[in-house]
Structure 1
Amino acid sequence: MGDLPTPKWRRPRQITVDLRGLHEPWLAWCKAQSLKPSDAVRRAIAKLVSGPVPAQSSLMVLVAERPTIRHEIALTASEQGRVAAMAEADGLSITKWIVALIRARLTGTAQFGQEELEALAQSNLQMLAIGRNLNALAKAANMRGGAGAQEARDIRDLEAEIRSHVAKVSNLMTGNAARWRLHGE
């Protein structure tokens, strides 16, 4: 039997399966797991083709994206109180705190509160100042010549490590504010 043509209404990556007598048990299982049937199928296929379900670190942040999809969640009064307190402690609104929590789980990257961002910014400023001081020391050592030349190279290597560290922290801070689109969507 040859392959049937793909109907125009069907997406190219979509699969249609006749579950026959398994349809109702499948829906019941998905409901018990609090999963949409399509999400459960994707998880099962991911497990079959790549071993364990891909971990959060397998998701990659690609580009900034404006959020456009809204979801409503229902919390108990005690959950709401705890979330509000934690969001306030991090200097975030409840919505931003929940989004940061989701992003941290999806991407495996740090999500910072306002106080943490300010502390990181201060840390970077101090690290850059240390780097400038090291540069001045390297110039002085270089002028001495001889053993001072090796000392100057060591200091410049240390300064390069500081610049690299500052760049990594800056990237984390920038990424913290970005909207994410995940690899594989």
Structure 2
Amino acid sequence: MVTRVRLCVDLGPAKPRWEAWCALHGVTAADGVRQLVYGVLAQDEPSDTVPEREPHSLSPDGHRERLEIRLTQEELEAARQQALAGGLNVNRWIVAVIRAQLAHEPQLGEREMQLLADSNQHLATIVTLLGRVVVHGAARDGAHLLEGTRAVIDAHLRAVMQVLRANLDRWSR
């Protein structure tokens, strides 16, 4: 026997007030009821038994399910502009927004990936400079090489932090 997962409630004369409340809060009538039910059920659960999902347990690999969402024309255009600014198409951008919220990890676009690739190139320069410091460690210009290495490392750290901060800021709005 299959158990139904739907609930049908006759609201009687309260229905217009309920629909007005839902419209005011920007939710459908079903979503409003769902939120109320989950809210009441969450109050009865002891806080120490609520399992917290590890952010890293969410894998973007594997089977994907299709999801249909409906946006207004203005919302879709705004999403397209955000996606374009991040170097993504709108579908990839929406997936990245969801994954960023679920996994609490940055979702990098093409621009960010290019910046990180450039940053890795800087790391290669750092390795080369450190090799020179080791070889010329006793030389008089060793201090100059160390100062140059430090400047390259600082620039690299700033670049990576800016990319990661921009991603976290973008996806946490």
Secondary structure at 2:93 match in 1: helix
Q: Which residue of 1 aligns with 2:118?
A: 122
Q: Write the mapping of 1:11-22 to structure 2, written as runs, cut at 5 A.
A: none
64 and 71 in structure 1: CA distance in 2 versus 1, 3 angstrom threshold: closer
**Separation in structure 1 between the aligned mates of residue 114 and residue 84 of structure 2, nearest angstrom:** 15
Give the superposition deviation at 1:51: 8.3
* % identical equivalent positions: 26
1:112 aligned onto 2:71: no
Aligned with 1:49 (options 41, 47, 50): 47
| Match in the other structure for 1:179 | none
Shift of 1:103: 0.7
Evaluate the alpha carbon distance shift between residue 115 and residue 31 of structure 1 in structure 2; reply closer, same or farther with a 3 A threshold.
Answer: closer
Counterpart of 2:31? 31
The alignment covers a number of residue pairs equal to 128
CA separation in 1, counterparts of 2:104 and 2:129? 35
> Residues 60 and 107 of structure 1 are in contact (CA less than 8 Å); yes or no, is this contact kept in structure 2?
yes
- 62 and 71 in structure 1: CA distance in 2 versus 1, 3 angstrom threshold: closer
Structure 2 residue aligned with 1:133? 129
User: What's 2:167 paired with?
Assistant: none
Q: Alignment partner of 1:60: what SS?
A: helix
TM-score (norm: length of structure 1)? 0.51
Query: CA offset at residue 139 of structure 1?
Result: 2.7
What is the TM-score when the length of structure 2 is the normalising length? 0.54
Name 2:21's counterpart in structure 1. none
CA 1:118–1:45 in 2, change beyond 3 Å: closer, same or farther?
Answer: farther
Seen in structure 2, the aligned counterparts of structure 1 residues 47 and 79 have a Cα distance that, compared at 3 Å, is farther
Q: CA deviation at 1:73?
A: 0.5
Partner residue in 1 for 2:89? 93
CA contact (8 A) 1:46 1:52 kept: no
1:85 alignment partner, SS class: helix
Pick 1 or 2: higher relative contact order, CA cutoff 8 A, min separation 6. 1
**Structure 1 residues 122 and 61: CA distance shift in structure 2, 3 A:** farther
Matching residue's letter, 1:49: S
Please identify which structure carries the higher helix content: 2
Residue 74 of structure 1 and its aligned partner are, at CA, apart by 0.7
CA RMSD of aligned residues (A): 4.5
Query: Does structure 2 conserve the Cα–Cα contact (< 8 Å) formed by 1:30 and 1:36?
Result: no
Q: CA deviation at 1:124?
A: 1.1
Gaps of 5+ in 1: 1-8, 11-22, 174-185
Once the two structures are TM-superposed, the CA of residue 107 in structure 1 deviates from its matched residue by 0.7
The answer on whether the counterparts of 1:46 and 1:53 sit within 8 Å (CA) in structure 2 is no
One-letter amino acid of the structure 1 residue matched with residue 32 of structure 2: A
Residue matched to 1:6: none
Q: Please state whether the residue corresponding to 1:103 is helix, strand or coil.
A: helix
- The answer (yes or no) to whether the contact 1:47–1:53 under 8 Å persists in 2 is no
